[in-house]
Structure 1
């Protein structure tokens, strides 16, 4: 795609976001977007196919913008505080971009975007580090789902409430409930019992080269059974 087309495409996306922010999803019509971008309506169809294609592009822009705010610390001094900070960042983005966030997260199909997947990979990396340190109380995948669901649910619930019923305690309560649900107060590998050690070993298993693929798979199954027995 030429740079001129890229610039035009970006101008249309920004125009659509402006309309979305000011008037909600119903305000984002192809005619209104074309007018705001200084184009004729057929240009929208050439660039995005249809209105749904345009909304998908707007959501992808939102996921990319959120991804750009993320800071990855491969070795945080306090992994639990790092988890809290990541959760808070997700909530802050949603509150700062309510209409865009609602578009991004109220339709499951939109979470198939490349930027969303990259963001989830960053989250899974954080889960692997927590597991390797013996912090995780649950499986890495489930932990990531809980973190994502509580942050998204917190934002969408807040946005759905009348202003006079919005209590900031919603966020701190949900965040701390999330922390308690997915992590131990202390690294489990320091405690008696095999579950925490199994989670820690399972998290680092892909990094070793001494075992064959089949051996890794078998050991991974055993470790999961031990970890789930906690």
Structure 2
């Protein structure tokens, strides 16, 4: 297995190249997946301006804004790892409001957020239209076993020890949800040390 070390800046540059080169159908949907300690949203945010500098419109969406209502999400309690893995995300809502509108022939009209998990109410966000040639950057955790359509997927990989060490104590109950989660992604990045990321295998 080839592993290529990079700086954080080098990782952003590499991903920007890959996103820009990915198929446009006419949009490019990019899924950035990682456990919460990897902060996939921060990496997605870092890609926005470099992509816009290349003339690519960008829309940022977080899967955390597409959770199911608490009455459904927490049906089996607040600390059920199986529910966390398979039942928290509103996959149907994410497909309907974000990913399917960017299918070939789609409208490009996306709802950036659906549900506020803090208030447990609809977010009341306005729809946004992503121009053709635009990039959707969607971040989240446990995304890559849901059969979500995308032109490029990236997984921030943590070793079991690093995941346990870096997970906030309040969320340690989620650790069993990651057991056996080894998704196939277009880009896999070893992320035990965010200051020293490394690409696994070849890209492109």
TM band (smaller chain): under 0.3
Comparing both chains, which one has the higher relative contact order based on Cα–Cα distances under 8 Å and sequence gaps of 6 or more?
2
Which structure has greater helix proportion? 1
Which structure has greater strand proportion? 2
Question: Which one has the largest radius of gyration?
Answer: 1
